[in-house]
Structure 1
Amino acid sequence: MVERKTSPAVEASLTALAVSLRGVTKAYDNGVMALGPFDLTVRKGEFISLLGPSGCGKSTALRIIAGLSAPSSGTVRVARHEGEVQPGQPGHGIGFVFQEPTLMPWTSVRENVRLPLRLAGVPKADARARADAALASVGLADFAGAYPRELSGGMKMRVSLARALVTDPDILLMDEPFAALDEITRFRLNNDLLVLWRRLGKTVIFVTHSVFESVYLSQRVVVMTARPGRIQADIRIETVEPRGEEFRTSAAYSDYCRRVSAALAPSYSGQSTL
């Protein structure tokens, strides 16, 4: 049996469901069926990746979970510490990191991170302190007064992550946040994200096109079919925690990458084993 050393915060949170999608579909007005039927269960504290070809509905699934898009059919349930609410209602505890940082160029890093709190009516002093704490958590404490134009691409994504974390969400949705970054920066941010996840115990659903990134980050890799997106395979990544560079160069990592790649191959060939 493989030894697992997940943090107490993560272990405690894995006793309850965070997200449940049952029979979810999404059809657009132009007749395109983007998703489904799609069934997904995520437990609190899990880190999962959605992996699949472009247009398979990965981002659509995230937007449905976040309440930014309504499913055409099916049921979506999102839980929080205080109980269970429907997506889109205030306070359902979701942070969203988009593909682009989408920072306001005319204001400081601190004010960009403070924005969700300002919109929620949090007093300025409290919001400032929370924004500074979020920036410190992503290694940008010294850049609170800087402007987005003064930051590298990787630093901008850190700001975007801090903004998603500043409301202390239960669930963190990440839509290919590192796709446009160079490989060295991407590896570094992957490592930093795992450190944050272990420390904070958040539920993370991470969208990526990278087999290597999905295997390195995730407890589970959910491989999706070509459109309309369904689940092709749900592969659990069992390895010693915490992960580091030794895992990235291990035989186990290579084996998992081959397994995930094999599950993904039918989606790119226009075939499905479903």
Structure 2
Amino acid sequence: MAEPALSGSDAGSAVRLRGVAKTYDSGVAALGPLDLDVASGEFVSLLGPSGCGKSTALRLIAGLATPSAGTVELSHHGTEQRGSHRIGFVFQEPTLMPWANVRDNVRLPLKLAHAPAADADARIAAALDQVGLADFAGAYPRELSGGMKMRVSLARALVTDPDILLMDEPFAALDEITRFRLNNDLLSLWRNLHKTVIFVTHSVFESVYLSQRVIVMTARPGRIGAEFRITSPEPRGEEFRTSAEYAAFCREVSGALAPSYAGQAGA
């Protein structure tokens, strides 16, 4: 399967989509045409109803699917070391191997890349420390809470030191308290590691809290219906979540999202 093209011409842009569309063999037009630029180090959320192509867009950026039309370009950031990738992907489900402990679940992408054992061990330890699981390296998935399993999945994405982190509704199945805590931890990681993050969510509140920019997508086939810059200064915390400014952003984004749900079954 073809990977997204590399571009070194625009140092400020990590991801560039031009006229990207996806139509499946069944004839369903899932996405586009879509034009989108994501700056290096930016945190962007894709917000929209089920079936609008948010996850499809992530898969196209990751090279897990091929667009029916248009181009996907990723900026090039120098020579990669063995066991490193431009992209890390956190899926909706943790998809952990039940027979492997936390350490070995995180090791998987390095093992597939044939990274040297000593280097892999150091990177696994660093990734687990970053997500707060340093004391659980020997635990098995059955011994972990839902939030801890998702932290393992995040560590597995970070262990290759990617430039771009793609996250497909990773916290949707978690309880509210755990979700809020992971939102805070993700923001801290983003600030410290300077990754480019593209985050898919159904939640207006989550998108506004996390993002520098919220892209509101239309119903299928997904296009950009509206775009909002969340200008609240960093670092954000609980004081922002309870502020009038946050509530105002949420109302504005919700208003732009409403037409995407119009006419949908059960809406």
Please classify the TM superposition score into its range, dividing by the shorter chain length: over 0.9
1:125 Cα shift?
2.0
The alignment partner of 1:226 has SS state of coil
Candidates 25, 28, 32, aligned match of 1:29: 25
1:60 Cα shift?
0.0
1:79 Cα shift?
1.2
Partner of 1:82: 78
Note if 1:257 corresponds to 2:253: no
Task: Write the deviation string for residues 88-110 of structure 1: whole angstroms up to 9, x where unpaired.
Answer: xx965100000000000001100
1:129 Cα shift?
1.5
The alignment partner of 1:189 has SS state of helix
1:175 Cα shift?
0.1
Structure 2-normalised TM-score? 0.92
Partner of 1:180: 173
The alignment partner of 1:35 has SS state of strand
1:126 Cα shift?
1.6
Partners in 1 of 2:144 and 2:109 — Cα distance?
A: 21
Gaps of 5+ in 1: 1-13, 84-89
Partners in 2 of 1:258 and 1:224 — Cα distance?
A: 16
The alignment partner of 2:172 has SS state of coil
Partner of 1:47: 43
Task: Write the deviation string for residues 214-264 of structure 1: whole angstroms up to 9, x where unpaired.
Answer: 000000000000000000011000012100000000000000000000110
Runs of 4+ that moved beyond 3 A: none
The alignment partner of 1:227 has SS state of coil
CA-atom RMSD, angstroms? 1.6
Q: Given residue 35 of structure 2, which amino acid in structure 1 is its aligned partner?
A: D
Partners in 1 of 2:42 and 2:263 — Cα distance?
A: 30
Q: Given residue 30 of structure 2, which amino acid in structure 1 is its aligned partner?
A: A
Partner of 1:231: 224
Equivalent pairs counted in the alignment come to 253
Q: Given residue 94 of structure 2, which amino acid in structure 1 is its aligned partner?
A: P
The alignment partner of 1:214 has SS state of helix
Note if 1:122 corresponds to 2:122: no
Q: Given residue 77 of structure 2, which amino acid in structure 1 is its aligned partner?
A: H
What percentage of aligned pairs have identical amino acids? 78
| Residues 236/15 of structure 1: CA separation in 2 closer, same or farther (3 Å cut) | farther
Partner of 1:4: none
Retained in 1: the 8 A contact 2:22–2:69? yes
Structure 1-normalised TM-score? 0.90
Note if 1:59 corresponds to 2:55: yes
Q: Given residue 178 of structure 2, which amino acid in structure 1 is its aligned partner?
A: T
Partners in 2 of 1:247 and 1:192 — Cα distance?
A: 15
Retained in 2: the 8 A contact 1:226–1:270? no
Task: Write the deviation string for residues 179-226 of structure 1: whole angstroms up to 9, x where unpaired.
Answer: 000000000000000000000000000000000000000000000000
